[in-house]
Structure 1
Amino acid sequence: MSNQPAYKFRIGLITATIWENDSFYSVEMSRSYKTNEGEWKSTTSFGHNDLLNVAKCSERAENWISRKTAMTT
């Protein structure tokens, strides 16, 4: 994998990062949160309130990857 993501987007506190390795894409999902000290961190654990945005990010990632792979075939 390269050091830079192929594409990255965010819905609310959920971020989807798409990585390209040759012609293969993978998606990393994370959720941002603020600690009691005010520091921003991220986690790959999602609560019930996050799931709709996780689903929306998954759909958006699938659409992006589909468009990219359709352009190369």
Structure 2
Amino acid sequence: MANQPAQKFKIGLITATVWDNDGFYTVDLSRAYKSDTDEWRNTGSFHHSDLLNLAKCAERAEIWIGRQMNAR
């Protein structure tokens, strides 16, 4: 069974996925898009119009991680 993310934050097409690796947190940032075959996929490449949502998702992830670490 694959590991589950500790938390996800989504705004529009942008997602920040937080992973807990034994108390060391990492974050994957991605943008969803539809392929030519009409399937949803993700990329790590962002449009100019994505940057504000990218920053907000990253900020939410940073705040969440900080709270987890302060709770210890």
Task: Verify same fold: TM over 0.5.
Answer: yes
Identical residues among aligned pairs (%): 61
Q: Runs in 1 of length 4+ with deviation above 3 angstroms?
A: none
Find the aligned partners of 2:41 and 2:23 in 1 and give their Cα distance: 31
Q: Which residue of 2 aligns with 1:51?
A: 51
How many residues matched? 71
In structure 2, runs of 5+ residues without a counterpart are none
SS of 1:33 mapped into structure 2: strand
Q: Which residue of 2 aligns with 1:71?
A: 71
Q: Please identify, of 32-41 and 49-58, the stretch whose mean Cα deviation from structure 2 is larger.
A: 32-41
- The answer to whether residue 56 in structure 2 is matched with residue 27 in structure 1 is no
In structure 1, runs of 5+ residues without a counterpart are none
SS of 1:66 mapped into structure 2: helix
The offset of 1:37, in angstroms, is: 2.2
Matched residue type, 2:43: T
TM-score (norm 2): 0.93
Find the aligned partners of 1:6 and 1:21 in 2 and give their Cα distance: 9
Q: Which residue of 2 aligns with 1:3?
A: 3
Q: Which residue of 1 aligns with 2:40?
A: 40
- Quote the RMSD (CA, aligned, Å): 1.1
